Structure 1
Amino acid sequence: MRDKIYFLADAHLGSKSHGDSIETERKLCRWLDSVRDDAAVIFLMGDIFDYWYEYRYVVPKGFTRLLGKLGEMTDSGIEIHFFTGNHDLWLTDYLSKECGLILHLEPYITELKGKKFFLAHGDGLGDDSRSFHLLRKLFHSKFLQKCFSGIHPRWTIPLAHTWSNSSRESGGVVPYLGEDREHLVRFAKNKLKVIPDINYFIFGHRHVLLNLPIAEQSRVIMLGDWITLFSYAEFDGEGVELKQFL
């Protein structure tokens, strides 16, 4: 019986952070197989790929196992949503047309089994850093994306991977900062002032596991990652539980 809802983020497939990115992709496919019999909906919450850019006739090399598995599952009737993250934001319609995914370029509020969810990858929410917002604005610029498209993929793809890996190596994953210092927790608390009936805020991006109550009927969930934690969240209609696929 398909009555569970699953959430997963930050696989960063193709990243040098993985000892073997293809093996991580295989593991992710095994996880999809493990939930396919009871999954009503699956939400992939951003940065599934460490880099993704769709040219008009070209998409990045690789990921055939995952893309095939996603297409197979949507063909069988499972609803799969794909959120852009800060690493795989440059997509158009390939994943929707070829794999049957429902794409989300912005945060999404929805009701699932009588509970209200705020869903987003999480980058840029509650973060008032000027440098981050400038960089994000540049990455989301349609004009700059068009300019980028004019460069041959043999140059852009290695450049993007070099940027991603150097950024991660210099900054690394920041451990949980505490309720008062986490941008996403602060964002969720402020959003509750506007929409007080949100039950769950579910985010990727931070690569930490968190299930934090912020109000009597509201919690913030951070999904961890598929680099070291191999984690995900499961909603059964009663509550959200964080799990690891080991």
Structure 2
Amino acid sequence: MYYFASDIHLGAGDAATARAVERRFVAWLDDAARDAEAIFLVGDIFDFWFEYRRVVPKGFVRTLGKLAELTDRGVRVVFFTGNHDMWVGDYLARECGLEIHTSPEVMTLSGKKVFIAHGDNMKIDGQPMLKFLNRIFRSRTLRWLFSWGVHPDWALRFGHWWSGRSRKGHGEEAARGASLTEPYTGSSEPHTEPLVEYAREYSRTHAVDLFVFGHMHFPRDCREGRLHVVNLGCWAENPSYAVLDAAGELTLKMPGKTSV
């Protein structure tokens, strides 16, 4: 079994909310590890993450300890960076044993070719400001300047402020999804449609069986003929995860519900 989750946004919100989300996530990791061949964390696991050479963000001790425990036991944990945790260094790999990917990948799992990506920089050609910000935040030079020129306390304060601003934008757009008790399985959903369209275009020229995205905070299981796209929800709003079984069937799940 292969498990997928994204947009946990650890550290977001007030202290009580953040702690509750972390406990739920750690419990899920424990459950998934019972029969997991691999656990895929598809971006924005942290609401903000920035590593200095000798400093890592305060908090997340339960999550980091659990991830280290799982990889020590031989469970493969694969981490895809998102727009909130793109500034990962070597800490999660070296100390927690995670396999880090900073760009989309196609992997063969259960005999299926699975395209995995957070989805934050896809189908944004018509959004020049977003493209500009992506270029800034992914600049190695600016990352180096930020690391050497900004004290960690100020850097993390700025990072959490910016992350909160970004999350609020997602929350407003995905407000309709906040009351969902099961994944959306309709043929069209405007919020996640750009990623589905990306999958449609990509599958025309590449042999891919399944697509798994995060980022949009809205759980959706889209099936159009041979195209199958799963979009994972945000754990503070629409907790969800996906499971790929040994037969190659990908299922999007929410607490107490599964897609049909």
Which TM-score band (shorter chain)?
Answer: over 0.9
Partner of 1:43 in structure 2?
A: 40
Residue 49 of structure 2 is aligned to residue 85 of structure 1: no
Q: Rate the CA distance shift 1:224–1:170 in 2: closer, same or farther, 3 A.
A: closer
Q: Deviation digits for residues 77-107 of structure 1, max 9, x if unmatched?
A: 1110001000000011110010110000000
Contiguous gaps of at least 5 residues in structure 1: none
Aligned-pair CA distance for 1:168 = 2.8
Counterpart of 1:202, as a letter, is V
* Shift in Å, 1:14: 0.7
Structure 1 counterpart of 2:208, which letter? I
Does the alignment pair 1:234 with 2:231?
Answer: no
**Alpha-carbon displacement from aligned partner over 1:129-183 (angstroms, at most 9, x marks no partner):** 1111100000000111011002101111111111121333355342389357721
Larger mean Cα displacement after TM superposition, 170-179 or 26-35: 170-179
1:212 aligns with 2:248: no
**Taking structure 1 as the reference length, what is the TM-score of the superposition?**
0.93
1:108 aligns with 2:105: yes
**1:199–1:171 CA distance, 2 compared to 1 (3 A):** closer
User: Which residue of the partner structure matches residue 16 of structure 1?
Assistant: 13
Identify the match of residue 134 of structure 2 among 130, 133, 136: 136
Q: Which residue number corresponds to residue 253 of structure 2?
A: 243
Q: TM-score, normalised by structure 2?
A: 0.88
CA shift at 1:35, angstroms? 1.7
Between Structure 1 and Structure 2, how many residues are aligned? 241
In the TM superposition, structure 1's runs of 4+ consecutive aligned residues that sit over 4 Å from their partners are none
Letter in 2 for 1:89: M
- The amino acid of 2:131's aligned partner reads H
Q: Which amino acid aligns with 2:153?
A: R
Q: Is the 8 A contact 1:17 1:227 kept in 2?
A: no
Code of the aligned partner of 1:143: T
Contact 1:232 1:244 in 2 (8 A): yes
CA spacing shift, 1:17–1:186, aligned 2, 3 Å:
farther
Where structure 2 has 5 or more consecutive residues not aligned to the other structure, the ranges are 178-186
Q: Does the aligned pair in 1 maintain the 2:244–2:251 contact within 8 Å?
A: yes
Identity %: 42
Paired residues of 1:109 and 1:116 also in contact (CA < 8 A): yes
Q: Where does residue 125 of structure 1 map in the other structure?
A: 122
Does the 8 Å CA contact 1:31/1:245 hold for their aligned counterparts?
no
Q: Is the 8 A contact 1:17 1:165 kept in 2?
A: no
Q: Tell me how far apart the structure 1 counterparts of residues 208 and 195 of structure 2 sit (CA, whole Å).
A: 15
Aligned-partner Cα distance in 2 for 1:132–1:12 = 20
Q: Report the Cα offset of residue 217 of structure 1.
A: 2.5
SS in 2 for 1:158: helix
In the aligned structure 2, how far is the partner of 1:83 from the partner of 1:206? Answer: 15
RMSD: 1.8
State the AA in 1 paired with 2:24.
Answer: K
CA contact (8 A) 1:202 1:223 kept: yes
